[in-house]
Amino acid sequence: MKYIVVGTAGHVDHGKTTLIKALTGIDTDRLKEEKERGMSIDIGFAYLNLPNDICAEIIDVPGHEHFIKNMLAGVGFLDLALLIIAANEGVMPQTKEHLDILKLLAVKKGIIVLTKIDLVDKEWPGLVTENIREITRNTFFENAPIVYVSGITGEGLEKLKQIISQIVEEIETKNISLPFRLPVDRVFKMEGFGTVITGTIVSGTLKLDNPVEVLPQRIKSRVRQLQSHKGKISQAVAGQRLGINLAGIKLEEINRGDTLAQPGYLSPTNLLDVHLQMLDDTPHHLVNRTRVRVYLGTGEYFARTRLLGRNELKPGEEGYLQLQLEKPVAVLKNDHFILRLYSPLVTIGGGKILDIHPAKHKRFQEEVIVRKLATYEKGSSEELVEQILLSEQNKIFSLEEIAKMSNLANEEIKNILSDLNQENKIVRLEKPERVLHQQQLQNLKEKIINILQEIHQKQPLRLNLSKEEIKTKISGGEIFDFILNELVKEKKIILEKDKVRLAEHQLKFSPEEEKIKKEIENICLKGEFTPLTLEETKIHLSQSKNIPQPCTVLVQGKPEIIETIVSSLIEMGVLIKLEEGFIIHQNALEKAKIILKNYLSEKKEITVSEYRQILNSSRKYTLPILQYFDTIKFTKRIGDKRVLA
């Protein structure tokens, strides 16, 4: 079955509820106060089965200006609007305001219904029609059919049903390929069942026992029971109105304005990028930092405005702004909203959401306004996805994140990513599948190269840098290793375990530093199997007669130079660092390794004492050498002995 959401609109006491009852047999006034006052206070609901397996889910809204908040809770996702005008009164203030709201919410289809036709003479409806055509010019009602009806006598009802049937045939159903989402419009407790919520599904499908999430609270629940048109059902689809019995949810934990959705689909936010259209006839200007009421879905939210690129919006103007909400909301891109002043309580405009998780923009940042927001508002789906991939510096996106930000179906996103990949605009990563824009990748590569160049220039005697040191300086941490591997393939860097350097980088010693380096090597070679600590090396160097005067002056003026050169020799692999802070020359260590290998090839095992005697050294030095061989898995310790690993 195809489900279409139909809503009423119009001035108070123009016969909206009477008309719906005449069409459907259902009285949408359910409250005692509504019965007593003969006036709708809150939204009411009915349905009308139409030919060709179509069901019109009808939302009847109050017309009094005091209940605009309730009216707005019912018209957020309409497919078809019935603008109801009493023939005996004609166009009234709430007729115009409701018409403005429907236009701002981008409702596409409408029917004008002239009610109470039984109360006027035959010529009068023609005069009222002229006025109606005047106020609906340049709106989606401009060429809408006008139907004369009487909810009392039944005149025109069949014709209205026929026209509704014709129009709903042309309307596309709401998207069932997107995840489930339902704005909550009623919450109550049912004896013996617990908490029940009602609403209209705006996307996806829902089945019994499905897990769901209440947002923005992020409360997890499960569908215990589904009901539609007072009957139990096992499954519901987009466009369908239903009641849902939720498991494990207390009545006070959920309210009108909340959203029920597939777990993980929506992310609550306090900041929105939006496009706003000001009403032509509002007497108010909108300035920066104005406190406003924002109507989204079925809820009312307070917010402050942050105008972008300008200081005010005048009547009839449009522009971009950020809404800083006072409490979080769960919405999606392209959701429409209505904006009313906090005080006086009047509607001033409306528009649509462009970005649900934006950065806090600089107000006069032209690039954001022209490139990003204009693309989000008017760009094609491919332009939108590409802009999303460029929206956060150094960000890598999952398919789910793109879906949330674009409000596009997964299949469409996959097709777009495939096209972008063929155009070599993106890089696709697997396990899990993620996407990075080529421009972002190039930016990160350049940033890493620049960081390496800067450190190499400042520390020319440092051969390698640690990966972690570089990683902390960029914000692309989650794809850091991928980028390094790409740079290795391009032969721009050299990567050795957790060390990295530019491919062309070589240690550059001054003549004095070169002499100090050679003397340190000589001291370590002379020590052979008696490795030295850094401090001992410094002492030997200070006593050396092989150091010319300029080198002595350098060491005295810059005592840390010895440690720097030793670190360079360790990085170069000339010196090896052992346990207990000892350093040994690579040639001496290799000689000790050959001696050990020859011994173990014959004897199979060796103790520290035995090895000490072979090397003619002491246990103090022999043990760190053996521990190093254990570390590089040349030997293996078993008890107090070593064997070849």
pLDDT digits (tens, 9 = 90+) for 452-476: 999 888 888 788 888 888 888 886 5
The CATH superfamily label for domain 181-261 reads Translation factors (2.40.30.10)
- pTM of the entire predicted model: 0.78
Query: How many C-beta atoms surround the C-beta of residue 189 within 10 A?
Result: 12
What is the sign, positive or negative, of the torsion defined by CA atoms of 273, 279, 280, 284? negative
CATH top class, domain 269-367: mainly beta
Residue 549 has pLDDT above 70, yes or no: no
Q: What average pLDDT does range 564-582 have in this prediction?
A: 88
Q: Among residues of the chain, what percentage have pLDDT more than 70? A: 95
- CA separation, residue 315 to residues 104, 286, 307 (Å): 14, 9, 15
**Which range is least confidently modeled, 25-34, 425-434, 519-528, 627-636?**
25-34
Domain ranges of the chain: 2-170, 181-261, 269-367, 368-436, 440-502, 511-644
Residue of 436, 438, 441 lying closest to 425 (CA atoms): 438
At 13, is the pLDDT very low, low, confident or very high (cuts 50, 70, 90)?
Answer: confident
Indicate the SS3 state at residue 644.
Answer: strand
Query: How many C-beta atoms surround the C-beta of residue 53 within 10 A?
Result: 8
- How high does pLDDT run on average in the chain? 90
Answer yes or no: are the C-beta atoms of 156 and 147 closer than 8 Å.
yes
The values of phi and psi at residue 269, to 5°, are -145, 155
Residue 620, C-beta contacts closer than 8 angstroms, at least 6 positions apart = none
Q: pLDDT higher for 402 or 32?
A: 402
At residue 210, the pLDDT reads 98
The values of phi and psi at residue 635, to 5°, are -125, 165
> What is the third-level CATH fold of 511-644?
Arc Repressor Mutant, subunit A (1.10.10)
Residue 186, C-beta contacts closer than 8 angstroms, at least 6 positions apart = 197, 198, 199, 256
Task: Find residue 259's DSSP bridge partners.
Answer: 183, 215
State the first-to-last Cα distance of the chain, in angstroms, to the nearest integer: 73
> What is the third-level CATH fold of 2-170?
Rossmann fold (3.40.50)
Q: What span, in angstroms and rounded, lies between the C-alpha atoms of 483 and 267?
A: 29
Give the E-state strand segments of 51-193 in sequence order: 54-60, 80-86, 109-115, 146-148, 181-190
**Which range is least confidently modeled, 183-187, 327-331, 393-397, 594-598?**
393-397
* In this structure, CATH architecture of domain 440-502: Orthogonal Bundle (1.10)
Tokens of 283: 């007497």
The values of phi and psi at residue 515, to 5°, are -70, -40
Residue of 423, 421, 426 lying closest to 438 (CA atoms): 426
**Which range is least confidently modeled, 350-354, 510-514, 601-605?**
510-514
Q: Which H helix or E strand runs over 184? A: strand 181-190
The values of phi and psi at residue 201, to 5°, are -70, 125
Q: What is the 3-state secondary structure (H, E, C) of 313-363?
A: ECCCCEEEEEEEEEEEECCCCCCEEEEEECCCCCEEEEEEEEECCCCCCCC
Residue of 335, 369, 368 lying closest to 352 (CA atoms): 335
Q: Would the CATH topology of 181-261 be identical to that of 368-436?
A: no
Residue 377, C-beta contacts closer than 8 angstroms, at least 6 positions apart = 275, 320, 352, 354
At residue 561, the pLDDT reads 79
Indicate the SS3 state at residue 233.
Answer: strand
Q: Which H helix or E strand runs over 507? A: none
At residue 637, the pLDDT reads 93
Tokens of 613: 């005697």
**How many residues make up the chain in this entry?**
645
Radius of gyration of the chain (CA): 38
Tokens of 118: 């039984």
Residue 2 has pLDDT above 70, yes or no: yes
Q: What is the CATH number assigned to the segment(s) 368-436?
A: 1.10.10.10
At residue 186, the pLDDT reads 93
Q: What span, in angstroms and rounded, lies between the C-alpha atoms of 47 and 638?
A: 83
Q: What span, in angstroms and rounded, lies between the C-alpha atoms of 443 and 414?
A: 25
Residue 34 has pLDDT above 60, yes or no: no
Q: What average pLDDT does range 189-207 have in this prediction?
A: 92
At residue 386, the pLDDT reads 94
**Which amino acid, one-letter code, is at 423?**
E
Query: How many C-beta atoms surround the C-beta of residue 496 within 10 A?
Result: 10
Indicate the SS3 state at residue 287.
Answer: strand
Q: What average pLDDT does range 121-127 have in this prediction?
A: 88
At residue 510, the pLDDT reads 78
At residue 476, the pLDDT reads 59
Q: What span, in angstroms and rounded, lies between the C-alpha atoms of 496 and 480?
A: 15
At residue 475, the pLDDT reads 67
